[in-house]
Amino acid sequence: MQDASDTVNEYLIHACGIGLEQVLEEVTQGVVSTRLVGRVTGRAELAGAIRHPDGGISETHQGLLTVEGVDYRFRCSVFVDAGGERFVADVGELVPVAWHAVMRMWLGR
């Protein structure tokens, strides 16, 4: 059986063309790609950070990611290198916590 992060990652790639790690990287900055509008929302808070001698920073974030009406509590590690490039180093937790009905209006032509 797959865990929630595998399932959500596959869905995001198939439906939106973007993977879970990229979505979390954006959410931890307070942004969401335009291709995710109406499907994905999120909020994150910085839970801790460690500065490394090489100028990089390891950050731990926690928050809530909502994908198509399903809320997931998440915790992830983001590494920011000395040049400011960011990437998700680890998704430590992605747990479904609530579900909300999502209504979509389909317009036919």
pLDDT surpasses 80 at 102: no
Q: What does the pLDDT look like over 53-67, one tens digit per residue?
A: 999 999 999 999 999
Reference 77, options 96, 55, 62, 97; nearest CA is 62
When comparing pLDDT for 54 and 107, which is higher? Answer: 54
Beta strands, E only, the chain: 40-51, 57-67, 70-80, 86-99
Would the pTM of this model clear 0.95, i.e. be above it?
no
Q: What does the pLDDT look like over 69-96, one tens digit per residue?
A: 999 999 999 999 999 999 999 999 999 9
pLDDT surpasses 80 at 103: no
Give, in order, the Cα–Cα distances in Å from 82 to each of 17, 78, 89: 29, 13, 15
